[in-house]
Amino acid sequence: MTDPGQLDLESMSLERLANLAEGCTGCELYQKATHVVFGDGPVDASIMLLGEQPGDREDRAGEPFVGPAGEMLDAALTQAGIEREDVYITNVVKHFRFEERGKRRLHKKPLRRHVKACRPWLDAELAHVQPDVVVALGGSAARSVLERSIRVMSDHGVPIEWEGVLVLPTIHPSFVLRSSGDSERRDELFDLLVSDLKTSRELASG
């Protein structure tokens, strides 16, 4: 069992961190989750993609962004000219928070205490990877890093300097998916996500 708040995580390798996170008991979310979902990607990545929390598919696989939102993200990365293998992908909260509806497990927004409990893991990932740009996928991810309010639809695509890193807010891929009933709106949101990812690529290479 591991309480991340009691360990010097920044002195450990990413591989060691991922192994330790498997036993994380920093909050109660581990009790129902199938797997912890730690970050994935090269330690020298110039871009970090940061989501809110894993979903059902990610929880079952133990890997970030492998469900429908991950497929949407992959498509947007391709359009933006970014290889997924070149970016580090992670979430603010490492366990899936959900409520059961019959056989379905529905996403529930993490609470502030869950974000706080997981913060040592994220801080350690940031310290190891040292990205030039953190693309915050959705308002929850942006607020958790910047610790202030962000309105994604008005603030997206504009980098915010934070402790030597540029944080670039954008929409979460799941937001694009939720607009599937309106193809025109879905295309508009997808193009917005692609545009912001292109901006992150330009900032990282600049």
Q: What is the domain count for the chain?
A: 1
| Residue the block writes with tokens 């890997």 | 63
Single pTM value for the model: 0.94
In the predicted structure, residue 2 carries a pLDDT above the cut 90? no
What is the rounded CA–CA span in Å between residue 32 and residue 71?
A: 25
pLDDT-derived band of residue 3, with 50, 70 and 90 as boundaries? confident
In the predicted structure, residue 105 carries a pLDDT above the cut 70? yes
pLDDT in tens, 170-193: 999 999 999 878 899 999 999 999
What's 56's domain CATH number? 3.40.470.10
pLDDT at res. 111:
95
In the predicted structure, residue 127 carries a pLDDT above the cut 70? yes
- Structural domain of 187: 4-205
What is the rounded CA–CA span in Å between residue 66 and residue 34?
A: 15
What is the rounded CA–CA span in Å between residue 76 and residue 126?
A: 23
pLDDT in tens, 18-75: 999 999 999 999 999 999 999 999 999 999 999 999 999 999 999 999 999 999 999 9
